[in-house]
Amino acid sequence: MIQGLQLGEPKYEILSAQLADMTRQQLPQLKAALTQLGALQSVAFTGVGPGGADIYQVKFEHGTAEWRIMLGPDGKIQGITFHPL
């Protein structure tokens, strides 16, 4: 997902319909934010949040970010957020 966003080519088929629409609308901003962080270096699962989202610490060339991913019952991503640490 991260590399797809960095390239401006996310895999919409793994997203819920609503999240795919939101991603299409926000893609320029998402791509710009991830471009500033640089190359992806590592991804580490850190736990499950109180709402059930999987939490990951993601290291990039120029910083680190926390990603939270919520899967739906169909296995598609229903929610995804990230913020720099």
| Model pLDDT, residue 58 | 98
What φ, ψ does residue 63 adopt, rounded to 5°?
Answer: 160, 180
| Model pLDDT, residue 49 | 96
Give the C-alpha separation, 34 to 46, whole Å.
20
Give the mean pLDDT of 58-75: 96
Q: What is the sign, positive or negative, of the torsion defined by CA atoms of 27, 28, 34, 40? A: positive
Q: What is the pLDDT of residues 45-57, one digit of tens each?
A: 999 999 999 999 9
Give the mean pLDDT of 31-36: 92
Mean confidence (pLDDT) of the chain: 95
Q: What is the pLDDT of residues 16-30, one digit of tens each?
A: 999 999 999 999 999
Domain ranges of the chain: 2-84
| Model pLDDT, residue 37 | 94
Tell me the pTM.
Answer: 0.89
